[in-house]
Amino acid sequence: MNPFSFNQKHSEVTLEYLKAQIEQAFAGVEFPGDDHLSDTYDQSEIEDFQGNNWQHWNQIDCYLVNKNYSSLVFLTPEAFRFFLPIYIMCGLEHPSSNTLEFTVYSLILRNNSDDPELSKLCLSWFNILNSEQKKAVVLFLKYVRSKSEYGISDSASEALQSYWLHTQ
């Protein structure tokens, strides 16, 4: 079965299937290196990610991710692509943590006429993903939307409508 045919309806997708899709879509993503983690002046939000030379994003412990649950928005596009799958996985493994909520929130395209730079920044994170990675993100957002017990179905819907459904 082609894992990216997504013949399953999102309500029928199991957590194991979703995780397998994330794993496969982001399998070859390389750590961008400390010099390419963040473009911001204040590096405090990402300091726990510095000084590591991960070969694969799945080497990162969920404790570190959950501790830094809001750090995705401080990353460069390359670092966002590297860390996004582990944030998704840790959020799914610990749905009551802030990681799941902030990961979904970071996937909403911000179209703010008062701050066009914010929209450009979001697009730089999203557009670096290839089509298989985008499909996996859509599957993730649809899965979260279908889980009312997570309490973030509206945010997942907003993310899907703001950008992700338009990439299919």
DSSP at 44: G
Summarize the confidence of residues 79-96 as an average pLDDT: 95
Q: State pLDDT tens for residues 46-85.
A: 666 766 667 789 988 899 899 889 888 888 999 999 999 9
Give residue 87's Cα distance to chain centre. 6
Q: What is the pLDDT of residue 6?
A: 46
> pLDDT band at residue 93, thresholds of 50, 70 and 90?
very high
Better pLDDT: 12 or 23 = 23
Q: What is the pLDDT of residue 1?
A: 39
Please, what sign has the CA dihedral across residues 33, 36, 42, 46?
Answer: negative
Q: What's this model's pTM, rounded to 2 decimal places?
A: 0.87
Q: What is the pLDDT of residue 47?
A: 67
Q: What is the pLDDT of residue 71?
A: 86
Q: What is the pLDDT of residue 41?
A: 53
> pLDDT band at residue 100, thresholds of 50, 70 and 90?
very high
Question: Using alpha carbons only, what angle is made at residue 155 by residues 153 and 160, rounded to the nearest 5 degrees?
Answer: 95
Residue 130: which residues within 8 A CB-CB, separation 6 or more?
25
Average pLDDT for the chain: 86
Lowest-confidence pick of 110-119, 134-143, 144-153: 110-119
Angstrom distance (rounded) from CA 75 to CA 65: 13
Angstrom distance (rounded) from CA 161 to CA 89: 22
Pair 71, 106: CB distance under 8 Å:
no
Q: State pLDDT tens for residues 110-138.
A: 876 677 888 888 999 999 999 999 999 99
